[in-house]
Amino acid sequence: MREATVGIVKPKRLTFAAHPDQLVLESGLKLGPISLQYETYGELNDERSNAILVFHALSGDAHAAGYHKEGDEKPGWWDNAIGPGKAFDTDRYFVICSNIIGGCKGSTGPSSENPKTRKPYGLQFPMITVKDMVNAQAALLDHLEVGQLLATVGGSMGGFQALQFAVSYPNRCKLVIPIATAGRQSAQNIAFNEIGRQAIMADPHWNGGDYYAGEAPVDGLSIARMVGHVTYLSDETLMKRFGRKAKTGTCTNGGLSLQPYFEVESYLRHKGNSFTRRFDANSYLYITRAIDLFDLAPGCDSLSSAFRDCRSRFLALSFSSDWLYPPYQSEELVEGIQQSGLAVEYHRIESSYGHDAFLLEADKVEEVISRFLIHEGRKKYFEVDQGYPIS
């Protein structure tokens, strides 16, 4: 059953918010038209009550499960969790995943055409926030005629969106599964993101964000990704996987060796370089800024005030070796949810994989997620005050 797959999937695209109905952003600026690239897996039931919205993390996209064509080397980024018989069982649920606005994987972002200039937005793209991301996805749900979701789920920045959606749309989501995430971005994580941004902006090819007609700032983006990548792993994983192994054939001939000397260096450079072939540097700037701005309860110590209007039930998961969004941050979130009187189940999963555990430990969380979706999904926690208007 674990080998099951949703098979070949066809990416879809929704375009909406054309002039004069642009999306009003949190900043007050308007964005439109907006395209959202998305994919769906499984079937929406007749009651339209089995939809699950999956939110992706910083470098993710709409391709969460299955393959785009025969022979694809890799499936979608969460294929081990989404599919027949898996945690998000596509025999039971209708699973939706959409690329965020600000992104570069088919949704409108800084590399998209600015309708005013007919050129890529670059830095003319407005600042977007996690709230804006979920507002755009709510429009996608309207289009799909999904009033109320059975569940939202996401890891890392995907967890930010899952939480924000529950807070912004208290009537639209029964269950919320925030994984390896937090109720607000920490100072240390802002610091790491800022280093990445500085590296991109220090690259002369970045050119104030206006590089689409020429060479991209690949050196800067690669360094930004290397910083990010180290924070996704753990000390233990790096030591087990690479340790102090030197590259074969490396020779320093007594001078400074500028070539990778240790395997971990070569690995990092490879990760950095390959990222530049699939990601836009300006998107990296905008999305990391949105991440840093995320705070469910600005100015409040406790996160509880954020959940005042919320009536969802929560399943929060953290991983022991995650030092980017460490367990204590999930625990602060859980405390805030509890203080607001809402139900929350919490598991701190033992794992040595660091933050990446949220992608890699699908086996360990499958049972707890399946059970939560089935048992809690059956209950009627709240009546929807007013039937949510379907557009």
Q: Are 99 and 140 in contact (CB under 8 A)?
A: no
Instruction: Give one word for 209, left, alpha or beta, with left for phi > 0 and alpha for psi -120 to 50.
Output: left
CA distances from 69 to 75, 76, 225, 253, 322 (A): 10, 11, 28, 48, 34
Structure tokens at 138: 């709510």
Burial of 10 (0-12, 13-18, 19+ CB in 10 A): exposed
Among 15, 45, 117, 124, binds its own copies (CB under 8 A): 124
When asked if residue 123 is in the footprint of its own copies (CB under 8 A), the reply is yes
When asked if residue 326 is in the footprint of its own copies (CB under 8 A), the reply is yes
Burial of 374 (0-12, 13-18, 19+ CB in 10 A): exposed
Contacts of its own copies in 332-361 (CB under 8 A): none
Contacts of its own copies in 291-320 (CB under 8 A): 292-293, 295, 298
Annotated catalytic residue, options 56, 63, 347, 355: 355
Count of residues in contact with its own copies, rule CB under 8 A: 66
Q: Are 308 and 337 in contact (CB under 8 A)?
A: no
Among 27, 45, 117, 339, binds its own copies (CB under 8 A): 27
Pairing of the two strands 12-16 and 23-24 = unpaired
Please say if 330 is a catalytic residue.
no
Q: Of 131-139, 198-206, 341-349, 366-374, which part binds its own copies (CB under 8 A)?
A: 198-206
CB of 333 to its own copies, least distance (A): 15
CB of 150 to its own copies, least distance (A): 33
CB nearer its own copies, residue 39 or residue 203: 203
CB nearer its own copies, residue 119 or residue 371: 119
> In 14-26, which positions are buried (b, 16+ CB within 10 angstroms) versus exposed (e)?
bebbeeeebbebe
Please say if 309 is a catalytic residue.
no
CA distances from 239 to 103, 245, 353 (A): 33, 10, 11
CB of 316 to its own copies, least distance (A): 19
When asked if residue 52 is in the footprint of its own copies (CB under 8 A), the reply is no
CB of 135 to its own copies, least distance (A): 16
When asked if residue 1 is in the footprint of its own copies (CB under 8 A), the reply is no
CB of 168 to its own copies, least distance (A): 20
CB nearer its own copies, residue 205 or residue 364: 205
Please say if 156 is a catalytic residue.
yes
Which residue's structure tokens are 């749309």?
169
Q: Are 347 and 299 in contact (CB under 8 A)?
A: no
Q: Is 175 helix (H, G, I), strand (E, B) or coil?
A: strand
Return residues touching its own copies (CB under 8 A). Answer: 25, 27-29, 123-127, 184-188, 190-192, 194-195, 197-199, 201-204, 209, 219-220, 222-223, 226-227, 230, 233-235, 238-239, 241-244, 252, 254-258, 260-262, 264-265, 268-269, 272, 285-286, 289, 292-293, 295, 298, 323, 326
